[in-house]
């Protein structure tokens, strides 16, 4: 091979690679959006056990506790085009992404409620997963009460009644 051709071939390969990058980023954004959409569909359909498996950072929350709490809320994602609007990827790394989106909600006190905010997604087991805390937050579900604070309340109540 002629040594004068090496720089030209390298530049050509670089330009082809650079031209393909926006397509990869676009594919990645579509994958993130589809993953979040699928997760919200599980929630909307009341498939809480499958939803639990699609969530990251579940902490000490068991599947049973999660399902019970989700059954006690009337809030769920809206259907169709109202489910997610203005989806934007703010930051993406290999195992974490931050997105900004408006999630339409039903079952809230206001007829046309939504939650527009940032969400963190975590890539685990080949799937982008929403955070359990985000689902609880949108649903209006409170986290498990701290045992110490509950004991303190019970102690104060017992002293008050004496």
Q: Which of 25-29, 40-44, 120-124, 155-159 has the lowest mean pLDDT?
A: 155-159
Q: Which CATH number fits domain 22-160: 3.40.30.10, 3.10.450.100, 3.40.1670.10, 3.40.50.880?
A: 3.10.450.100
**pLDDT tens-place string over residues 22-32:** 446 678 999 99
Q: How far is CA 113 from CA 69, 94, 108, 158, in A?
A: 20, 33, 6, 41
**pLDDT tens-place string over residues 69-114:** 999 999 999 999 999 999 999 999 999 999 999 999 999 877 668 9
Q: How far is CA 70 from CA 40, 47, 52, 76, 143, in A?
A: 13, 10, 10, 9, 12
What is the structure's pLDDT at 138?
94
């Amino acid at each position: 091979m002629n040594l004068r051709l090496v720089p030209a071939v390298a530049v050509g390969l670089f330009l082809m690679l650079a031209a393909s990058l926006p397509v990869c980023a676009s594919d990645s954004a579509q994958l993130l959006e589809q993953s979040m959409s699928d997760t919200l569909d599980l929630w909307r359909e009341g498939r809480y056990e499958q939803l639990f498996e699609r969530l990251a950072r579940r902490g000490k929350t068991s599947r049973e506790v999660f399902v019970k709490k989700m059954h006690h809320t009337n809030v769920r994602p809206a259907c169709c085009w109202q489910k997610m609007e203005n989806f934007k990827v703010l930051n993406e790394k290999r195992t974490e992404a931050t997105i900004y989106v408006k999630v339409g909600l039903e079952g809230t006190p206001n007829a046309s409620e939504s939650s527009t905010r940032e969400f963190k997604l975590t890539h685990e087991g080949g799937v982008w997963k929403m955070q359990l805390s985000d689902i609880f937050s949108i649903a209006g579900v409170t986290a498990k009460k701290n045992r110490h604070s509950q004991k303190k309340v019970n102690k104060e109540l017992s002293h008050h009644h004496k």
